[in-house]
Amino acid sequence: MINDRGEQRRHLFSSSRRASGQRLRATLEEYAISFAGFSELLRISPQCLTNWFARGVPQVRMEQLARLLSVSEEWLAMGEGKRVLSLDDHLLLSDRTSQDTYDITSYR
């Protein structure tokens, strides 16, 4: 039997995870990046991306997506903290993860 507290925590996690999909969708729309083009960049099906919009972004993809869209991982995942990364944040991330560099403007 699950206690009320565990049930509440699970509900908060699932609702914030679903909201990450809504934040992803809104960010792509704001940047005028096509869903088909973005799914191609990620090497996933457009249906998979649509599922993320509805169910939330998988945790294993959160860092990659945040980096590609220049938003903070915390904001994308939970809707908390700064949305847009500062130049200093970008430099720190690029030092840490320089292997993934994409020109997402070509996927509009």
C-alpha of 76 from chain center: 5
Measured in degrees and rounded to the nearest 5, phi and psi for residue 71 equal -120, 160
Q: Which of 31-40, 76-85, 99-108 has the lowest mean pLDDT?
A: 99-108
Question: Residue 57: what pLDDT?
Answer: 95
Is residue 1 over pLDDT 60? no
**Average model confidence (pLDDT) across the chain:** 78
H helices of the chain, in order, are 4-30, 35-42, 46-55, 59-69, 73-78, 87-96
Give SS3 for 92.
helix
CATH class of the domain comprising 4-107: mainly alpha
Domain boundaries, the chain: 4-107
More confident residue, 55 or 102: 55
